[in-house]
Chain A
Amino acid sequence: MTDPLSFLSGHAVQWGAVVLLMTGLYIVMTRGNLIKKVVGLNIVQTAVFLLYISIGYVEDGTAPIVLEGAARYSNPLPHVLILTAIVVSVATTSLALALIVRIREAYGSIEEDEIRERESD
Protein backbone atom coordinates (compact mmCIF):
# COMPACT_ATOMS: atom_id res chain seq x y z
CA MET A 1 0.00 0.00 0.00
CA THR A 2 2.98 2.26 0.62
CA ASP A 3 4.57 2.37 -2.84
CA PRO A 4 1.97 3.44 -5.42
CA LEU A 5 3.76 1.73 -8.34
CA SER A 6 3.92 -1.68 -6.68
CA PHE A 7 0.31 -1.22 -5.56
CA LEU A 8 -0.65 -0.57 -9.18
CA SER A 9 1.28 -3.56 -10.57
CA GLY A 10 -0.09 -5.77 -7.79
CA HIS A 11 -3.71 -5.03 -8.64
CA ALA A 12 -3.71 -4.12 -12.35
CA VAL A 13 -4.67 -7.65 -13.45
CA GLN A 14 -7.57 -7.72 -10.97
CA TRP A 15 -8.84 -4.37 -12.25
CA GLY A 16 -8.48 -5.59 -15.83
CA ALA A 17 -10.67 -8.57 -14.95
CA VAL A 18 -13.21 -6.18 -13.38
CA VAL A 19 -13.34 -4.05 -16.55
CA LEU A 20 -13.86 -7.20 -18.67
CA LEU A 21 -16.65 -8.29 -16.32
CA MET A 22 -18.32 -4.86 -16.61
CA THR A 23 -18.12 -4.99 -20.42
CA GLY A 24 -19.64 -8.47 -20.54
CA LEU A 25 -22.37 -7.47 -18.09
CA TYR A 26 -23.20 -4.43 -20.23
CA ILE A 27 -23.49 -6.58 -23.38
CA VAL A 28 -25.78 -9.07 -21.61
CA MET A 29 -28.03 -6.33 -20.24
CA THR A 30 -28.36 -3.96 -23.20
CA ARG A 31 -28.04 -6.02 -26.42
CA GLY A 32 -31.18 -7.74 -27.66
CA ASN A 33 -29.50 -10.21 -29.98
CA LEU A 34 -29.39 -13.62 -28.32
CA ILE A 35 -26.06 -14.71 -29.85
CA LYS A 36 -24.50 -11.46 -28.68
CA LYS A 37 -25.86 -12.13 -25.20
CA VAL A 38 -24.10 -15.52 -25.21
CA VAL A 39 -20.83 -13.81 -26.25
CA GLY A 40 -21.31 -11.29 -23.41
CA LEU A 41 -21.91 -14.12 -20.95
CA ASN A 42 -18.70 -15.78 -22.12
CA ILE A 43 -16.79 -12.54 -21.50
CA VAL A 44 -18.16 -12.40 -17.93
CA GLN A 45 -17.04 -16.00 -17.40
CA THR A 46 -13.54 -15.43 -18.77
CA ALA A 47 -13.17 -12.37 -16.50
CA VAL A 48 -13.86 -14.57 -13.46
CA PHE A 49 -11.44 -17.23 -14.75
CA LEU A 50 -8.71 -14.61 -15.23
CA LEU A 51 -9.19 -13.34 -11.66
CA TYR A 52 -8.92 -16.90 -10.31
CA ILE A 53 -5.77 -17.72 -12.26
CA SER A 54 -4.12 -14.43 -11.23
CA ILE A 55 -4.72 -15.37 -7.57
CA GLY A 56 -2.75 -18.62 -8.06
CA TYR A 57 0.25 -16.86 -9.62
CA VAL A 58 3.46 -16.79 -7.56
CA GLU A 59 6.28 -14.38 -8.32
CA ASP A 60 9.41 -16.22 -9.62
CA GLY A 61 7.47 -19.49 -9.68
CA THR A 62 7.13 -21.93 -12.56
CA ALA A 63 4.22 -23.90 -13.96
CA PRO A 64 3.14 -26.63 -11.49
CA ILE A 65 4.96 -29.49 -13.20
CA VAL A 66 7.61 -31.08 -10.99
CA LEU A 67 11.06 -30.10 -12.21
CA GLU A 68 14.56 -30.57 -10.81
CA GLY A 69 15.82 -27.35 -9.32
CA ALA A 70 12.52 -25.48 -9.33
CA ALA A 71 12.05 -23.69 -6.02
CA ARG A 72 8.50 -22.40 -6.35
CA TYR A 73 5.46 -23.45 -8.28
CA SER A 74 2.32 -21.47 -8.96
CA ASN A 75 -0.69 -22.76 -7.03
CA PRO A 76 -2.22 -25.73 -8.92
CA LEU A 77 -5.62 -25.56 -7.21
CA PRO A 78 -7.11 -22.56 -9.06
CA HIS A 79 -5.84 -24.13 -12.30
CA VAL A 80 -7.78 -27.33 -11.61
CA LEU A 81 -10.97 -25.46 -10.72
CA ILE A 82 -10.81 -23.21 -13.79
CA LEU A 83 -9.97 -26.14 -16.08
CA THR A 84 -13.26 -27.72 -14.98
CA ALA A 85 -15.08 -24.39 -15.30
CA ILE A 86 -13.84 -23.79 -18.88
CA VAL A 87 -15.15 -27.17 -20.03
CA VAL A 88 -18.47 -26.66 -18.24
CA SER A 89 -18.79 -23.18 -19.79
CA VAL A 90 -18.45 -24.74 -23.26
CA ALA A 91 -21.17 -27.26 -22.39
CA THR A 92 -23.55 -24.49 -21.26
CA THR A 93 -22.66 -22.37 -24.31
CA SER A 94 -23.51 -25.26 -26.64
CA LEU A 95 -26.86 -25.75 -24.88
CA ALA A 96 -27.60 -22.00 -25.13
CA LEU A 97 -26.78 -22.01 -28.86
CA ALA A 98 -29.02 -25.04 -29.43
CA LEU A 99 -31.84 -23.18 -27.65
CA ILE A 100 -31.21 -20.14 -29.88
CA VAL A 101 -31.48 -22.31 -33.00
CA ARG A 102 -34.84 -23.65 -31.78
CA ILE A 103 -36.06 -20.15 -30.87
CA ARG A 104 -35.17 -19.00 -34.38
CA GLU A 105 -37.19 -21.91 -35.83
CA ALA A 106 -40.19 -21.14 -33.60
CA TYR A 107 -40.22 -17.32 -33.82
CA GLY A 108 -38.24 -16.59 -36.98
CA SER A 109 -35.95 -14.18 -35.13
CA ILE A 110 -33.15 -14.09 -32.57
CA GLU A 111 -33.85 -10.49 -31.49
CA GLU A 112 -35.37 -10.20 -28.02
CA ASP A 113 -37.79 -7.38 -29.01
CA GLU A 114 -39.17 -9.23 -32.04
CA ILE A 115 -39.62 -12.44 -30.05
CA ARG A 116 -41.55 -10.49 -27.40
CA GLU A 117 -43.75 -8.85 -30.07
CA ARG A 118 -44.56 -12.24 -31.59
CA GLU A 119 -45.24 -13.68 -28.16
CA SER A 120 -47.84 -10.96 -27.42
CA ASP A 121 -49.60 -11.35 -30.79
Chain B
Amino acid sequence: MDFDWMKIPYAFLTLFIVVNYGFLLNAFIQKIGARVGRRHGIPIWQNYADMFKNYGLRSSITHGVMFYLGPVFRLSGGVGLILFVPIIYGSTMFSNMSFAGDLILALYFIFFGTLGMALGAGESGHPHAAIGITRGLSQVTTAELPFALAVFSVALQYQTLSVTDIVAAQQGGVLNWTLFTNPLAVSAAMLSFLGSMMRPPFDVVIAPQEIPIGPPTEYHSSYLALMQTNRAIFPIAKIVIYMNLFFGGATDWPTFFFKVFMIYLWSAFVGVVFPRFRVEQSIRWFLIWAVPLGVLSIVMV
Protein backbone atom coordinates (compact mmCIF):
# COMPACT_ATOMS: atom_id res chain seq x y z
CA MET B 1 0.00 0.00 0.00
CA ASP B 2 1.21 3.43 -0.87
CA PHE B 3 1.04 5.74 2.11
CA ASP B 4 2.34 9.25 2.21
CA TRP B 5 4.01 9.54 5.62
CA MET B 6 4.07 13.31 5.35
CA LYS B 7 0.33 13.20 5.98
CA ILE B 8 0.91 12.51 9.66
CA PRO B 9 2.65 15.79 10.60
CA TYR B 10 0.14 17.60 8.38
CA ALA B 11 -2.69 15.97 10.31
CA PHE B 12 -1.13 17.10 13.59
CA LEU B 13 -0.87 20.62 12.24
CA THR B 14 -4.56 20.53 11.28
CA LEU B 15 -5.43 19.24 14.72
CA PHE B 16 -3.40 22.01 16.36
CA ILE B 17 -5.14 24.73 14.36
CA VAL B 18 -8.56 23.22 14.95
CA VAL B 19 -8.07 22.82 18.72
CA ASN B 20 -7.02 26.42 19.18
CA TYR B 21 -9.71 27.73 16.87
CA GLY B 22 -12.22 25.61 18.76
CA PHE B 23 -11.18 26.99 22.16
CA LEU B 24 -11.36 30.57 20.95
CA LEU B 25 -14.57 30.09 19.00
CA ASN B 26 -16.33 28.41 21.91
CA ALA B 27 -15.42 31.31 24.18
CA PHE B 28 -16.44 33.80 21.50
CA ILE B 29 -19.84 32.18 21.04
CA GLN B 30 -20.29 32.12 24.83
CA LYS B 31 -19.41 35.80 24.86
CA ILE B 32 -22.05 36.49 22.24
CA GLY B 33 -24.57 34.64 24.39
CA ALA B 34 -23.48 36.68 27.40
CA ARG B 35 -23.73 39.98 25.53
CA VAL B 36 -27.30 39.15 24.59
CA GLY B 37 -27.91 38.73 28.32
CA ARG B 38 -26.20 42.11 28.87
CA ARG B 39 -23.20 40.57 30.56
CA HIS B 40 -19.55 40.91 29.62
CA GLY B 41 -19.09 37.17 29.53
CA ILE B 42 -15.96 35.13 30.01
CA PRO B 43 -12.56 36.32 28.78
CA ILE B 44 -11.68 34.92 25.37
CA TRP B 45 -8.89 32.77 26.88
CA GLN B 46 -11.03 31.41 29.72
CA ASN B 47 -11.27 27.93 28.21
CA TYR B 48 -7.47 27.61 28.20
CA ALA B 49 -7.33 28.48 31.89
CA ASP B 50 -10.05 25.97 32.69
CA MET B 51 -8.28 23.28 30.73
CA PHE B 52 -4.84 23.94 32.25
CA LYS B 53 -6.37 23.99 35.71
CA ASN B 54 -8.08 20.67 35.20
CA TYR B 55 -4.95 19.05 33.79
CA GLY B 56 -3.07 20.55 36.73
CA LEU B 57 -5.27 19.13 39.50
CA ARG B 58 -3.14 16.95 41.74
CA SER B 59 -5.55 14.22 42.72
CA SER B 60 -8.16 12.24 40.90
CA ILE B 61 -10.39 9.31 41.62
CA THR B 62 -11.19 6.50 39.27
CA HIS B 63 -14.18 4.20 39.25
CA GLY B 64 -12.77 1.58 36.91
CA VAL B 65 -11.33 1.05 33.46
CA MET B 66 -14.36 2.22 31.51
CA PHE B 67 -14.41 5.41 33.57
CA TYR B 68 -10.97 6.13 32.13
CA LEU B 69 -11.97 5.16 28.63
CA GLY B 70 -15.14 7.26 28.48
CA PRO B 71 -13.40 10.62 27.91
CA VAL B 72 -10.77 8.91 25.77
CA PHE B 73 -13.50 7.54 23.52
CA ARG B 74 -15.09 10.93 23.38
CA LEU B 75 -11.86 12.63 22.44
CA SER B 76 -11.02 10.00 19.82
CA GLY B 77 -14.48 10.55 18.36
CA GLY B 78 -13.68 14.23 17.83
CA VAL B 79 -10.11 13.69 16.65
CA GLY B 80 -11.18 10.85 14.35
CA LEU B 81 -13.81 13.06 12.81
CA ILE B 82 -11.23 15.77 12.10
CA LEU B 83 -8.67 13.34 10.71
CA PHE B 84 -10.93 11.58 8.25
CA VAL B 85 -12.64 14.48 6.52
CA PRO B 86 -10.96 16.94 4.20
CA ILE B 87 -10.60 20.23 6.10
CA ILE B 88 -9.44 22.36 3.19
CA TYR B 89 -10.60 21.18 -0.21
CA GLY B 90 -7.88 20.81 -2.83
CA SER B 91 -5.03 21.21 -0.33
CA THR B 92 -2.69 18.26 0.02
CA MET B 93 -1.64 19.54 3.43
CA PHE B 94 -5.07 19.69 5.01
CA SER B 95 -7.05 17.00 3.23
CA ASN B 96 -5.91 14.59 5.94
CA MET B 97 -6.81 10.93 5.66
CA SER B 98 -9.99 11.36 3.64
CA PHE B 99 -10.84 8.39 1.46
CA ALA B 100 -13.64 7.08 -0.71
CA GLY B 101 -16.17 6.01 1.92
CA ASP B 102 -15.40 8.56 4.62
CA LEU B 103 -18.96 9.85 4.89
CA ILE B 104 -20.13 6.68 6.62
CA LEU B 105 -17.11 6.75 8.92
CA ALA B 106 -17.88 10.35 9.83
CA LEU B 107 -21.46 9.44 10.75
CA TYR B 108 -20.09 6.70 12.95
CA PHE B 109 -17.57 8.97 14.66
CA ILE B 110 -20.24 11.53 15.48
CA PHE B 111 -22.00 8.92 17.57
CA PHE B 112 -18.91 7.18 18.87
CA GLY B 113 -18.05 9.63 21.64
CA THR B 114 -21.54 9.68 23.07
CA LEU B 115 -21.55 5.90 23.36
CA GLY B 116 -18.15 5.91 25.06
CA MET B 117 -19.44 8.52 27.45
CA ALA B 118 -22.46 6.35 28.22
CA LEU B 119 -20.28 3.43 29.25
CA GLY B 120 -17.87 5.60 31.24
CA ALA B 121 -20.51 7.63 33.03
CA GLY B 122 -22.41 4.43 33.74
CA GLU B 123 -19.43 2.96 35.53
CA SER B 124 -19.11 5.98 37.81
CA GLY B 125 -22.17 4.55 39.54
CA HIS B 126 -23.67 7.96 40.16
CA PRO B 127 -27.44 7.88 39.62
CA HIS B 128 -27.41 11.38 38.13
CA ALA B 129 -24.88 10.27 35.54
CA ALA B 130 -27.01 7.27 34.58
CA ILE B 131 -30.17 9.34 34.23
CA GLY B 132 -28.28 12.08 32.41
CA ILE B 133 -26.81 9.69 29.90
CA THR B 134 -30.21 8.11 29.24
CA ARG B 135 -31.68 11.49 28.51
CA GLY B 136 -28.66 12.54 26.49
CA LEU B 137 -28.60 9.44 24.34
CA SER B 138 -32.31 9.59 23.57
CA GLN B 139 -32.01 13.22 22.55
CA VAL B 140 -28.87 12.74 20.46
CA THR B 141 -30.38 9.72 18.73
CA THR B 142 -33.44 11.61 17.59
CA ALA B 143 -31.30 14.60 16.65
CA GLU B 144 -29.03 12.39 14.54
CA LEU B 145 -31.96 10.87 12.67
CA PRO B 146 -32.72 13.85 10.40
CA PHE B 147 -28.99 14.36 9.86
CA ALA B 148 -28.54 10.75 8.76
CA LEU B 149 -31.51 11.11 6.40
CA ALA B 150 -30.05 14.32 4.98
CA VAL B 151 -26.67 12.63 4.49
CA PHE B 152 -28.30 9.76 2.61
CA SER B 153 -30.17 12.26 0.50
CA VAL B 154 -26.95 14.10 -0.35
CA ALA B 155 -25.13 10.84 -1.04
CA LEU B 156 -27.91 9.80 -3.41
CA GLN B 157 -27.88 13.20 -5.08
CA TYR B 158 -24.16 13.12 -5.84
CA GLN B 159 -23.99 9.33 -6.19
CA THR B 160 -20.93 9.13 -3.91
CA LEU B 161 -19.95 8.45 -0.30
CA SER B 162 -16.76 10.47 -0.47
CA VAL B 163 -16.80 13.86 1.22
CA THR B 164 -14.09 15.12 -1.15
CA ASP B 165 -16.23 14.25 -4.20
CA ILE B 166 -19.25 15.95 -2.68
CA VAL B 167 -17.22 19.11 -2.10
CA ALA B 168 -15.85 18.89 -5.62
CA ALA B 169 -19.36 18.70 -7.05
CA GLN B 170 -20.28 21.95 -5.24
CA GLN B 171 -17.41 24.05 -6.60
CA GLY B 172 -17.87 26.83 -9.13
CA GLY B 173 -20.31 29.26 -7.58
CA VAL B 174 -22.61 29.68 -4.63
CA LEU B 175 -25.59 28.29 -6.53
CA ASN B 176 -23.86 24.91 -6.81
CA TRP B 177 -23.95 24.46 -3.06
CA THR B 178 -26.19 21.73 -1.69
CA LEU B 179 -27.95 24.52 0.16
CA PHE B 180 -29.49 25.51 -3.17
CA THR B 181 -29.51 22.21 -5.03
CA ASN B 182 -31.10 20.25 -2.18
CA PRO B 183 -32.64 22.74 0.28
CA LEU B 184 -34.83 20.17 2.02
CA ALA B 185 -31.88 18.02 3.08
CA VAL B 186 -29.99 21.09 4.31
CA SER B 187 -32.91 22.36 6.37
CA ALA B 188 -33.39 18.93 7.96
CA ALA B 189 -29.69 18.78 8.75
CA MET B 190 -29.59 22.31 10.13
CA LEU B 191 -32.46 21.51 12.50
CA SER B 192 -30.58 18.42 13.61
CA PHE B 193 -27.48 20.59 14.02
CA LEU B 194 -29.20 22.54 16.79
CA GLY B 195 -29.67 19.35 18.73
CA SER B 196 -26.03 18.36 18.86
CA MET B 197 -24.36 21.69 19.64
CA MET B 198 -25.22 21.71 23.36
CA ARG B 199 -26.75 25.16 23.16
CA PRO B 200 -30.32 26.04 24.12
CA PRO B 201 -33.03 24.99 23.41
CA PHE B 202 -31.49 21.52 23.45
CA ASP B 203 -28.93 21.75 26.26
CA VAL B 204 -31.08 20.47 29.10
CA VAL B 205 -28.97 17.31 29.27
CA ILE B 206 -25.89 19.13 30.57
CA ALA B 207 -27.76 21.95 32.27
CA PRO B 208 -26.20 22.46 35.71
CA GLN B 209 -29.41 22.89 37.63
CA GLU B 210 -31.30 20.05 36.00
CA ILE B 211 -29.89 16.66 36.89
CA PRO B 212 -26.64 18.09 38.19
CA ILE B 213 -24.80 18.50 34.91
CA GLY B 214 -25.88 15.09 33.58
CA PRO B 215 -23.34 12.59 32.28
CA PRO B 216 -20.13 14.29 33.48
CA THR B 217 -21.31 14.49 37.13
CA GLU B 218 -18.48 12.32 38.42
CA TYR B 219 -15.82 13.48 35.98
CA HIS B 220 -13.07 15.74 37.28
CA SER B 221 -9.43 16.75 36.81
CA SER B 222 -7.78 15.24 33.74
CA TYR B 223 -10.89 13.31 32.72
CA LEU B 224 -12.83 16.53 32.57
CA ALA B 225 -9.93 18.27 30.83
CA LEU B 226 -9.98 15.59 28.11
CA MET B 227 -13.67 16.20 27.68
CA GLN B 228 -13.06 19.95 27.52
CA THR B 229 -10.49 19.42 24.80
CA ASN B 230 -13.09 17.44 22.94
CA ARG B 231 -15.56 20.26 23.51
CA ALA B 232 -13.21 22.39 21.44
CA ILE B 233 -12.60 19.85 18.69
CA PHE B 234 -15.97 18.21 18.27
CA PRO B 235 -18.15 21.20 17.31
CA ILE B 236 -15.56 22.26 14.75
CA ALA B 237 -15.33 18.72 13.39
CA LYS B 238 -19.06 18.49 13.13
CA ILE B 239 -19.32 21.90 11.49
CA VAL B 240 -16.64 20.87 9.00
CA ILE B 241 -18.86 17.98 7.92
CA TYR B 242 -21.77 20.36 7.51
CA MET B 243 -19.64 22.86 5.65
CA ASN B 244 -18.35 20.19 3.30
CA LEU B 245 -21.70 18.56 2.65
CA PHE B 246 -23.95 21.58 2.40
CA PHE B 247 -22.03 24.83 2.08
CA GLY B 248 -19.46 24.15 -0.59
CA GLY B 249 -16.49 23.34 1.69
CA ALA B 250 -13.55 25.66 2.06
CA THR B 251 -10.58 26.12 -0.23
CA ASP B 252 -8.45 28.17 2.18
CA TRP B 253 -8.23 28.87 5.91
CA PRO B 254 -9.95 32.30 5.94
CA THR B 255 -12.97 30.80 4.15
CA PHE B 256 -12.85 27.92 6.60
CA PHE B 257 -12.80 30.18 9.66
CA PHE B 258 -15.58 32.33 8.31
CA LYS B 259 -17.91 29.51 7.28
CA VAL B 260 -17.37 27.57 10.50
CA PHE B 261 -18.12 30.69 12.50
CA MET B 262 -21.29 31.41 10.55
CA ILE B 263 -22.59 27.86 10.94
CA TYR B 264 -21.79 27.92 14.66
CA LEU B 265 -23.51 31.28 14.94
CA TRP B 266 -26.70 29.68 13.68
CA SER B 267 -26.96 27.50 16.79
CA ALA B 268 -25.98 30.42 19.04
CA PHE B 269 -28.59 32.61 17.37
CA VAL B 270 -31.35 30.08 17.93
CA GLY B 271 -29.98 29.45 21.41
CA VAL B 272 -30.29 32.99 22.68
CA VAL B 273 -33.77 33.44 21.24
CA PHE B 274 -35.50 30.29 22.47
CA PRO B 275 -35.76 28.83 25.96
CA ARG B 276 -34.90 25.25 26.82
CA PHE B 277 -36.92 22.25 25.78
CA ARG B 278 -37.41 19.35 28.12
CA VAL B 279 -35.98 16.13 26.73
CA GLU B 280 -39.32 14.63 25.73
CA GLN B 281 -40.30 17.92 24.10
CA SER B 282 -37.12 18.07 22.06
CA ILE B 283 -37.51 14.44 20.96
CA ARG B 284 -41.03 15.16 19.82
CA TRP B 285 -39.83 18.34 18.10
CA PHE B 286 -37.17 16.49 16.12
CA LEU B 287 -39.55 13.71 15.13
CA ILE B 288 -42.32 16.08 14.06
CA TRP B 289 -40.37 18.88 12.34
CA ALA B 290 -36.99 17.57 11.26
CA VAL B 291 -37.48 13.92 10.35
CA PRO B 292 -40.29 14.49 7.79
CA LEU B 293 -38.06 17.08 6.07
CA GLY B 294 -35.31 14.48 5.84
CA VAL B 295 -37.66 11.83 4.47
CA LEU B 296 -39.04 14.33 1.98
CA SER B 297 -35.55 15.27 0.82
CA ILE B 298 -34.78 11.61 0.08
CA VAL B 299 -38.06 11.23 -1.80
CA MET B 300 -37.37 14.36 -3.85
CA VAL B 301 -33.92 13.11 -4.83
Q: Do A and B bind each other?
A: no
Interface residues of B (CB under 8 A from A): none
